[in-house]
Structures are given as structure tokens and as C-alpha cells.
Amino acid sequence: MMNRLARAILRNRQNLAAILVFFTIVQVGFGQTDTIIAAKTNPLLDDAYLHPVDGMSPYTLKKGEWIYAQSIQTLPFPSWAFVGITDKLTAQIDLLPWVFGAFSELRRPIPSFNLRYRFNKQKGLIPTIAVESMFVHFWDTLQRFDTQNLTMWENGSYFHFKPVIGYKIRKKWFLNLSAGVDYIGELIMQNKDSLNFQTKTFKNSWNPNFSFSLSYRSSKWISYHFAYTYGATLTYLENIPRKHQLNYGFRIAPFYKNKWAFLRNLRIELVAINAFFSDINAQEVFPLPVFPYFYWQWQAKKRRKRPKKG
């Protein structure tokens, strides 16, 4: 589903890096100036990071808290929405299949459901424990990705089940570990190497899924991230099993002190994406941590108690 815009950006990485570095410096410099400080601030220190640089975490949104996320990979279509149903249960809504499916060759929405449930909060040596499960059904064979190096098709049902634990160290370091399973009805992989063309098809395929990620929240406006995954992921080259992916980058809150909520709640993830497909000897590598992913994290509004009539 990577569109022409994303492919063009991938071909011109040096220009992208220069533009985004300049944009980030300007935005951060302007966003943190004292002239726009309002009574409300929204630093990223207390944000619930669900999938930092496409890694797994056990954390959930608070009831009524929600996120809208937009990746340039899916433009002009929407990407994701995340909603805290309860403090322990978060719905992760992949908007792209529902909307894009109607405009694809399938001509109908693609059902997609994702829930994460958190069992507990970290206490002493006991880590935070959660489980995430996702289901997607493709009505027919659909081309998922078509890049310079490879092409992917999927058909039938996709499913993953991922138990995950997380441990916070001294309020700034976050260590997450997940081990689970992926299932795909049919997955077709092809590389575009004219000298060593390879294609593989997997049907009714169960595959292991493993994720390790590390985050460091150094200040109110920036955090640093590293994630390794084998198997399917949610954000980049998503829902593709049998993939090795090594990502690193950072998240910024460029306007966390701004008086306008739309800017104050804005977050930007800048990530390096390195994906390897050993089955077909192909890779998608974007080594500079400048690939942008934008999202807005809105906190739940506290209801005011009505005075009792007496």
C-alpha cells in the first residue's frame, strides 16, 4: 500500500534528510520558546507509547484518551486511531484497510480489528504485562507493497497474538519484550533482482513473532528509541510475517507548551527502517532516522462534578 509519494521520497533520501532536519530544528526552536507558553503543557514524559519505532509495549491508553496517527506511507488515506476503552483495554483501529479497501481492486472494506489488554502495572520486580491480538481478512489477493526491491501480496485471514512485558527503569528507561505468533492465509513474496529473482508463497502459515525494544525519555520534548522485530509489525511494512526489522529513531513534542491544543498534542516520530526478507534475499533499508510519522495524543477530559442539590 506504499503509494507513489512514499516511493518518490524513498528514492531521494538526501533531500528528505535535509528538509526534515531543517523542519525539526525550526519547529522545535519555535515550539519551545517562552513567548508561546500557556497555562497548559503536554510533555511527552507521561505519554503511553504503544508502538515506539514499530516495537511492542505493554502500555495502554487511559479511558477516554485517544490518538490519531498519520503515516506518509498511506497518504491520501488515513492511517490509525487508538482509543482507551478502559484504563486496561485499548482499541487500535487500522483505518487504512477499512477505507482503502473500498478503493482497491477488492472494492469493499477490509475488516481489521486490534485490541490490547493490560493485566497489571509494574510493581517492584514484577513488570507490566499485556497481550495484543489483531485480525485482518483479505477478500481476495491484494498487493500490499510494491517498492523498488520487492513486491508482496496477501490473501485470506491474517492474525497475530503477542504477549508482552515491559519494565520501566528510573522513570526514563523503558525495556519491552514480546514473543508470540503470526498466521497468514496466503503470503506471496517476490524480489526485483533481475540477476537473482526469487519468489516464495506461504499458505496457512504459522510463524513465530519476537520483539525487543528500548526507549529513553531524556526530556519533556524528545525521546530515543530502538526496536528489533522478527515477524509482523503494526506501523511500517505492516502485517508481513517472516520479516526481520531493525528500527531506531526518536520522537519529539515540538510544541508541548503551545497554547493551541492541536499543536500542543502533536508528536512526530522520525525513524530509520531496515527490513530484511531472507526468504527472497531482499531488503528495504532507510538508514537515516528521518522517515516521518505524525500523531496527536489527546488526553481524556476530566468531568466536573455537579454540585449536589440540597
Of 40, 78, 77, 82, the residue nearest 59 (C-alpha): 82
pLDDT band of residue 7 (cuts 50, 70, 90) is: very low
Q: What would the pLDDT profile of 156-172 be if each residue is shown by its tens digit?
A: 999 999 999 999 998 89
Please tell me the predicted confidence (pLDDT) of residue 41: 87
Residues 205, 45: Cα–Cα separation, whole Å: 40
Q: Which of 27-31, 106-110, 210-214, 235-239 has the highest mean pLDDT?
A: 210-214
Please determine, for residue 303, whether its predicted confidence score (pLDDT) is greater than 60.
no
Q: What is the mean pLDDT of residues 59-64?
A: 96
Bridge-based pairing of strands 89-94 and 112-118 is antiparallel
Cα–Cα dist 187/203, whole Å: 7
pLDDT at 19: 46
Name the one residue in this structure whose C-alpha cell is 517498492: 147
pLDDT by residue (tens digit) across 129-157?
999 999 999 999 989 889 999 999 999 99
Tens digits of residue pLDDT in 257-282: 999 999 999 999 999 999 999 999 99
Q: What is the pLDDT of residues 9-44, one digit of tens each?
A: 444 444 454 445 544 544 555 455 444 444 578 899
Q: What mean pLDDT comes out for the span 283-298?
A: 93
**pLDDT at res. 5:** 36
For the chain, which residues make up each domain, given as ranges? Answer: 4-298
User: What is the structure's pLDDT at 156?
Assistant: 95
Whole-number average pLDDT of the chain: 86
Asked if pLDDT for residue 4 goes beyond 50, the answer is: no
Q: Say if residue 129 is exposed, middle or buried (CB neighbours under 10 Å; 0-12, 13-18, 19+).
A: middle
251 or 41, greater pLDDT: 251
* Minimum mean pLDDT range among 168-182, 192-206, 288-302: 288-302
